[in-house]
Amino acid sequence: MRPCSPPSTALRAVPVALAALLAACSPSPHPDTAVVAIGAVQGDAARSPLEGREVVVEGVVTADFSRQLDGWFLQDGGDGDPATSDALFVSAENAFAVRAGDRVRVRGRVFEHGEGEATLTALRPLALEPLGRGEAAAAVLDAAPADWERYEGMHVRIAAPLTVSGHRDLARRGVLLAAFDGRLPAPTEAAAPGPAAAAVAADNARRTLLLDDGRGDEDPPAIWYLPDDAQAPRAGSTIDGAEGIVDQRWGRYRLQLTAPVQLQAAPRPGPPRVAGDVRIATLNLENLFNGDGRGGGFPTERGAGSSEQLAAQLERLAATMAALDPDVVALAELENDGYAATSSIAQLVAALNRDGADWRFADAGRGPGTDAIRVGLVHRASRVRALGAPATLDGGPFGQRSRSPLAQAYVPVAGSADAGPAFVVVANHFKSKGCGEAGGADRDQGDGQGCWNALRSDSARRLMRWLAEDPTGSGSDLIAIVGDLNAYAQEDPIRILREAGWHDALGDAGTHYTYLHEGQAGRLDHALLSPALAARLAGAAIWHNNADEPQNVGYRAANGRPQDGAPWRSSDHDPVLVGLRLRTP
């Protein structure tokens, strides 16, 4: 092969410090005749000290992503400085043909690839000279580095297990979010808002590594680096043997994998069993919308996009609730479409009763609330009896912001006779953390609680005042506040309730989760008991049948149909189950 640029017998590697000095002293945009160490091009900062200049570098091609990522990576033998990377990205815009293992000399102009601060130091090649074949040793990492910049562009092998922590972009972009040293907790699940939560967030960022498939296109037909029988790994699975190129693209560092990984799949857990004679559960339904209720009206505003997807959703929800075997369930993200036979709640109950069960729903007449979604309550008529009419709380922070709470009193039954005291279950769904329209105190305060924390806190206080007025008229002090409160265990709304005497049925904060966000596990779904009811607590558990499962096995996924009839990924939230001792001995 003829060289693309005439070689010079005078070319030699120049140390970093000397290269920087030459660059600073020379006003010419043209390169020096000497080969510059790649470490001199990278420098020890986020951007190259030689940006905009022409340089000559030599190295070995470690990976060619020209077709997928518009370039390839070049690595030399190092400059002796541990603060600088020994590799860089070479743009494929001049279409020089290379393959992994080629040793080449390249003349080109230094630039920063990408936008903003998270850029990749790169070279626009002007000439290329082949020098035969070679090999660039992989840097071996057995722990998360303090700064990935030092490894930017380099061939790296991870000699420590990585834990699968998130998979939101797996089906769409072939990306898994992995972590060193175990799973990543939601900062305000593990620590108090403010500096303590910020320290957890910083540690999470340090431990996080994105595993990418080396492609820039979307919706890959398969995830090539995962085993064929593990295309949808649960969070909590572990990965060994991750090897690839440290890339900085789309705002984050990532490892563009160059070889398949070894996956130890996390097993799916069986449903929990809790003690007690009455069991209460709470479950966010992930937008149960049923079109027009007659098989048409799809795609819906939220949730299922077809009648087939709705059928899959209902089957999975029914399987989840059958496996949990509760007596009362508080529901969230239910379509606010009334209580007729064509309503979403009526059709959910019909699905629950297909095998002869006797589920009933609480009929509030309208709503509760005016939002597109609402909360709901369902119960097993052979186990508990609804006592009186349900009660709802509107106004103030509820309605268009937080969904209106729904309270219903129940009595345990045995046959046709009452078998225990009345108790009250209150279904809730507080305002989410999204920042749309947030202003004033509801803006993100930078303490880890996100937007609308003030409104959620107000919701907690108003809820307690309402319950103190006995809205169901039952006279019972056995009350359970359950549902999706959109606040992690250490955040203000949960703290306000606990400090007022409400007991967390699941115990210590920081050790539980019902939801994954950006690979961080925390508890948005809660069960808080009045002091009198807490004295009757027999047990509580979370069933991780949903949050750890990737979206590409969900009811809306094209490949999700084989899972129908099973409880896996029936929602994006895990259900909480609480056991109580309520029946009279």
Structural domain spans, the chain = 13-133, 139-264, 278-580
Closest CA to 13 of 111, 64, 65, 86: 86
What homologous superfamily is domain 13-133 in, according to CATH? Nucleic acid-binding proteins (2.40.50.140)
The mean pLDDT value for 67-91 works out to: 96
Q: pTM of the entire structure?
A: 0.91
Which CATH number fits the domain 278-580, given the four candidates 1.10.1780.10, 3.60.10.10, 3.90.1330.10, 3.60.20.10?
A: 3.60.10.10
As a whole number, mean pLDDT of residues 522-542 equals 98
Residue 478 has pLDDT above 60, yes or no: yes
- Of the pLDDT bands very low, low, confident and very high (cuts 50, 70, 90), residue 561 is low
> Is residue 17 over pLDDT 50?
no
Token pair, residue 558, equals 């094209």
Separation in Å, CA 545 to CA 183, 324, 429: 17, 11, 21
Asked if residues 440 and 411 have their Cβ atoms less than 8 Å apart, the reply is: no
Min mean pLDDT across 28-42, 78-92, 200-214, 220-234 is at: 28-42
pLDDT, tens only, 294-329: 999 999 989 999 999 999 999 999 999 999 999 999
Residue 518 φ/ψ region, left for φ over 0, alpha for ψ in the -120 to 50 degree band, beta for the rest: left
Q: Considering the chain, what is the average pLDDT of its residues?
A: 92
Segment 132-138 shows an average pLDDT of 96
Same fold, 13-133 and 278-580: no
> pLDDT digit string (tens) for 223-249?
999 999 899 899 999 999 999 999 999
Average pLDDT for 284-290: 98
Residue entry with tokens 């009345």? 422
Q: How would residue 559 be classed by pLDDT, with cut points 50, 70 and 90? A: very low
139-264 CATH, one of 1.10.287, 2.40.50, 3.30.2320, 2.60.40: 2.40.50
Q: Looking at residue 270, what is its pLDDT?
A: 97
Which residues have CB under 8 Å from 226's CB, separation 6+? Answer: 233, 260, 261, 263
Per-residue pLDDT at 558 exceeds 70? no
Over range 99-125, report the average pLDDT.
95
Whole-number percent of the chain with pLDDT over 90: 85
List, as one string, the DSSP characters of 452-514: THHHHHHHHHHHHHHHHT-TTS-----EEEEEE-S--TTSHHHHHHHHTT-EETT-STTS--S
